């Protein structure tokens, strides 16, 4: 019987995994581990036919080489992002990588809009004031209405399109930038030809593009230099699409007045782990956490019941298809 090993198993995935294994009982053997793929597991790879890893797994080129040496030519990623893989090296080794292109775009869209609302109405400042028993009506909690704002959406695919629809329902003027504009969205947003034009005119910018080599530091110093002063910035995409140092400089100068970050370019060592009462060596992350005008969440925009089940079912279906020689639907490097 073929065998699949699933790395980085979270507690919240167990029920979804039980559901999948029950549906495929007698068809495949499944081994679960909370460990990340690493040297401790290399000696056991000869006994494995397929593997699945998570969004926080670090996959270096040496790992890819070792997988190929042990006959593992497919990795099913339990996330939409796959920027942890060097696809050029994977192709050279004959390794296919699959992802979950859409597991719950509505979940992420709703979270992004929630963060926009929190920034616009200074909810973070209100909560902080009240926690200190400060109940006055200071100017730092006076907000605006969402319908009065111009909101820019970078990336109008599965997630960005839903964000635009929700914000359009609030009455906001929504603008979009996408290399492939969707004519079906033109009733709810206005496309612009460049990122520079987008940020020059918008009060809020929300990011919904995949992490990739082409998109690395897509949001950078040049973009912020063209931004309207006081911009509210939201990233629920991938940390690698934002130059964090450029964002910090924009926050320092007031070009960006506040930000909500669900992803961070060096999140792997910290997100999804309990760092209570521990020292965070990453000074950049520590600095962001210390800012009153930056909201940090640990890559949880997707985190709903529906998303977790889909994040199990889709990649494991792909592993099963691959090891049985069938078509795999979600290969990112065909």
> Could you list the active site residues?
238, 267, 299
Residue 33, number of CB atoms within 10 A of its CB: 14
- CA separation for the pair 189, 202 (Å, rounded): 13
Token readout for 22 is 């029950």
The alpha carbon of residue 46 and the mean position of all alpha carbons in its chain are separated, in whole angstroms, by: 32
- CA separation for the pair 58, 159 (Å, rounded): 25
Query: Which among 48, 55, 108 is positioned nearest to 81, based on CA atoms?
Result: 55
Decide: helix, strand or coil at residue 109.
Answer: helix
Strand partners for 31: 5
β-bridge pairing 3-6 and 204-207: unpaired
- CA separation for the pair 44, 244 (Å, rounded): 38
Runs of H (alpha helix) within 104-215: 105-120, 123-131, 158-170, 195-201
């Amino acid at each position: 019987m073929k065998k699949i090993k699933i790395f980085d198993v979270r507690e919240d995935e167990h029920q979804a995994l039980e559901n999948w294994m029950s549906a495929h009982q007698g068809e495949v053997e499944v081994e679960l581990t909370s460990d990340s793929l690493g040297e401790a597991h290399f000696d056991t790879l000869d006994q494995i036919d397929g593997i699945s890893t998570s969004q926080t797994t670090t996959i270096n080129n040496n790992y890819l080489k070792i997988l190929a040496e042990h006959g593992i030519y497919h990795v099913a990623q339990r996330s939409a992002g796959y920027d942890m893989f060097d696809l050029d090296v994977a192709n050279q080794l004959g390794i296919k990588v699959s992802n979950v292109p859409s597991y719950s775009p509505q979940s992420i869209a709703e979270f992004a809009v929630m963060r926009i609302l929190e920034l616009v109405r200074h909810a973070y400042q209100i909560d902080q004031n009240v926690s200190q028993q400060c109940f006055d009506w200071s100017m730092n909690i006076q907000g605006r209405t969402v319908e009065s704002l111009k909101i820019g959406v970078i990336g109008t695919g599965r997630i960005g399109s839903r964000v635009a629809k929700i914000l359009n329902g609030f009455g906001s003027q929504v603008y979009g930038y996408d290399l492939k504009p969707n004519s079906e969205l033109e009733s709810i947003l206005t496309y612009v030809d460049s990122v520079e034009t987008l940020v020059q005119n918008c009060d809020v910018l929300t990011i919904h593009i995949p992490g990739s080599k082409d998109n690395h530091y897509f949001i950078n110093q040049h973009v912020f230099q063209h931004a309207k002063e006081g911009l509210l910035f939201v990233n629920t995409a991938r940390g690698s699409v934002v130059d964090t140092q450029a964002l910090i400089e924009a926050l320092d100068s007031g070009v960006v007045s506040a930000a909500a970050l669900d992803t961070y370019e060096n999140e792997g060592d910290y997100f999804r782990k309990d760092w209570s009462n521990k020292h965070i060596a990453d000074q950049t992350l520590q600095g962001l956490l210390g800012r009153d005008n930056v909201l940090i969440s640990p890559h949880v925009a997707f985190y709903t019941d529906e998303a977790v089940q889909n994040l199990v079912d889709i990649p494991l279906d792909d592993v099963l298809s691959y090891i049985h020689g069938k078509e795999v639907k979600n290969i990112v490097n065909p």
